[in-house]
Chains A and B, each alone.
Chain A
């Protein structure tokens, strides 16, 4: 099992959602984060006060998957998130020790595999 963390542009978030859906990755969470990854900063001006926006809005996807789904999840986030410009984001894949589905008590592979409805 792995935890796939993808940090992407907010404007690409819907594309990532669509790509994950196509890849049949059904369970994930997403959150809004702010970060910095070497992209050229935006300069904004408010009534004469000029500021350099050091942090950019990003969207962070967290997907817990069984090993056979790691490549699909990573591929989907890449496909949906890429624009080709600096600032497209990063994907991190972490080992995952243990998972529990709260409703049933299923653990590990059983917990991260979607159940048929």
Chain B
């Protein structure tokens, strides 16, 4: 055992890492339930693809750019290809850097997967893979450096416990840019495009909430007070969001909806993500209650616009992340977090630092994503043809269906496979 390693902290962080990794398949399930049945697998696969691509880019350069050194804008390449990432404790923590690396990797993965919600049902899988690889480095690693890795936000005093900047605002505002560049689904605004399985949506949201205890509870990198506070706040805040969401649903439609409840769970978890270890349990419940309102409003408003930001990543993650980051500026309490007070406790500077983050992160994420997708779009088609979109992305992109019956399926023996007629619109990408 290396000096400076704490066994209890390390044990918890190993578990927390696995919890956060589970969130990505859970997100895939949540998203898969929200799309039409012919796009189930493709939607789920975008999340699985994020695990594949973002892990590799993270090991190659992402981790190093985010966490090597304390440059103002970007980290160094000292840890590229995991050089020097070993059993020694990560600076400022009591856990091996290998565990720290893996924990942070799972954050990069889920953030990439989140953006897919904006482009499901029409973006080509190959183009998404290219986008995911580049975005994980150009946007995620940079913002993670700003907020976590010693960059200008964290060194300037901005508080972001578990990723309001690099995860929530980054994915939300990137999703808006992606929806604008990729464009709406062809039936958007003309036909009702409905979720095909609300049970997947609820189960996915439940598993996300479960994983979020590792996400927030692990972001203190220990079993210390900040982690414990964030852990319990991750229970309280989404519960308050759920209650308020029920009320908003009742006022607006006279019925409490299941998909609304699933959305509320996500919104509540996002709200507490930046603030988890910095505000008291009481303020966490207030945050959950108040923060429900802007996200609810954006969801209602967005469906009346021409922007097909399909699964409301902006409302659930961008808006709630923005709200949570600002909330810290008012309600942070040194007696609970041991770091800093907010405006309510007499510290105006904290609010200024939070406002800075709430402006810089969305601007950077939106701009870079917009330009990145324009560039990728110039090199390869971003979206499937109208005909392929009509057939469904599962058959076209993957050659599989989620709900195949097997009726009328003829087994092809290996000798026959090459001779079989291939569907003319098949698209390997």
Q: CA separation between A72 and B392, bound complex, in Å?
A: 30
Contact with B along A87-116 (1 / 0, CB 8 A): 000000000000000000000000000000
B251 contacts chain A at the CB level, 8 A cutoff: no
Taking A45-B400, A52-B412 as contacts, is the C-beta distance between A34 and B391 under 8 angstroms? Answer: no
Contacts of A44 on B, CB cut-off 8 Å?
395, 399-401, 404, 409
Q: How far is the CA of A35 from the CA of B133 in the complex (A)?
A: 41
Distance in angstroms from B193 CB to nearest chain A CB is 10
Q: By the criterion CB–CB under 8 Å, are B407 and A55 in contact?
A: yes
Report yes or no: B422 in contact with A54, Cβ–Cβ below 8 A. no
Report how far A53 CA is from B421 CA in the complex, Å. Answer: 11
Tell me if A22 counts as interface (CB < 8 A to partner B). no
With beta carbons under 8 angstroms apart, the residue of B187, B191, B390, B411 that contacts A51 is: B411
A29 within 8 A of B: no
- Which residues of chain A are near B417, meaning CB under 8 Å? 43, 50
In the complex, chain B residues 309-331 whose Cβ is within 8 Å of any chain A Cβ: none
The closest CB in chain B to the CB of A54 belongs to: B408
Cβ of A43: which chain B residues have Cβ within 8 Å of it?
Answer: 399, 412, 417, 420-423
Verify B412–A51 contact, CB threshold 8 A.
Answer: yes
CA distance A40 to B411 in the complex (A): 16
Contact with B along A23-61 (1 / 0, CB 8 A): 000000000001010001111111001111111000000
A97 vs B386: C-alpha distance when bound (angstroms): 42
Separation in Å of the B288 CB from the closest CB of chain A?
39
**Across the interface, do A11 and B423 meet the contact criterion of CB distance under 8 Å?**
no
> Using a Cβ–Cβ cut-off of 8 Å, how many residues does chain A contribute to the interface with B?
22
**Measured between alpha carbons, how far is A12 from B412 in the docked complex, in Å?**
30
CB distance from A68 to the nearest CB of B (A): 30
Residue B379, interface by CB 8 Å: no
| Complex contact A11–B408 (CB within 8 A) | no
The total of interchain contacts (Cβ-Cβ below 8 angstroms) comes to 63
* Contact, CB under 8 Å: B387 / A83: yes
Q: Is B346 an interface residue (CB 8 A)?
A: no
A40 to B420, CA, bound (A): 10
Q: Are B407 and A50 in contact (CB under 8 A)?
A: no
In angstroms, how far is the closest chain A Cβ from the Cβ of B173?
33
Given known contacts A40-B424, A41-B421, is B408 in contact with A14 (CB within 8 Å)? no
Interface assignment of B410: CB less than 8 Å from any CB of chain A? yes
In the complex, A85 Cα to B278 Cα: how many Å? 60
Would A54 and B409 count as touching, CB distance under 8 A? yes
**Residue pair A52, B410 in contact (C-beta under 8 Å):** yes
Q: Nearest Cβ distance between residue B424 and chain A, in whole angstroms?
A: 6
Chain B positions within 8 Å of A51 at CB level = 406, 409-412
* Complex contacts, A83 vs chain B, CB 8 Å: 387, 390
C-alpha spacing A14/B399, complex, angstroms:
24
User: Which residues of A sit under 8 angstroms from B422, Cβ to Cβ?
Assistant: 40, 43
With both beta carbons as reference points, the residue of chain B lying nearest to A9 in the complex is identified as B390
User: Chain B 393-429, CB within 8 Å of chain A: the 1/0 string?
Assistant: 0010001110010111111100001001111100000
Interchain CB contact under 8 A, A54 and B401:
no
A54 and B410 contacting across the interface, CB-CB below 8 Å: yes
Asked whether A34 and B407 contact (CB < 8 A) given A41-B421, A44-B400, A46-B400, the answer is: yes
Instruction: Kindly provide the distance from the CB of B393 to the nearest chain A CB, expressed in whole angstroms.
Output: 12
How far does the Cβ of B402 sit from chain A's closest Cβ, in whole Å? 12
Given A11-B390, A52-B420, A83-B387 in contact, is the A36-B400 Cβ separation under 8 Å?
no
Chain B residues with Cβ below 8 Å from A40 are: 421-424
Cα A41 to Cα B410 with chains together (Å): 10
A34-B408, A36-B408, A51-B411 known; A42+B187 contact, CB < 8 A: no
* A14 partner, pick from B187, B411, B421, beta carbons under 8 A: B187
Q: In the complex, what residue of chain A is closest to B394 when comparing beta carbons?
A: A44
Give the contacts of B136-192 with A (CB-CB under 8 A).
187, 191
Alpha-carbon separation in the docked complex, A85 to B385 (Å): 14
- Distance from B423 Cβ to chain A, minimum over Cβ atoms (Å): 5
Q: B387 to chain A: which residues have CB within 8 Å?
A: 83, 85
Write the nearest CB–CB distance from A85 to chain B, whole angstroms. Answer: 8
Query: A53–B408 Cα gap in the complex (Å)?
Result: 6
Q: How far is the CB of B384 from chain A (nearest CB, A)?
A: 13
Nearest CB in chain A to that of B424: its residue: A40
- Residues in B neighbouring A52, C-beta threshold 8 A: 409-410, 412, 420
Closest B residue to A44 by beta carbon equals: B399
0 or 1 for each of B88-113: is its CB under 8 Å from A? (1 = yes): 00000000000000000000000000
Chain B residues within CB distance 8 Å of chain A: 187, 191, 387, 390-392, 395, 399-401, 404, 406-412, 417, 420-424
Query: What are 5 pairs between A and B in contact, CB < 8 Å?
Result: A34-B408, A41-B420, A41-B421, A51-B411, A55-B407
Closest 10 CB pairs of A and B: A55-B408, A11-B390, A54-B408, A51-B409, A50-B412, A52-B410, A42-B423, A40-B421, A44-B399, A43-B420
11 more contacts with CB within 8 A, not counting A12-B390, A55-B407, are A11-B390, A11-B392, A34-B407, A41-B421, A43-B399, A44-B395, A44-B404, A45-B399, A45-B400, A52-B409, A52-B412
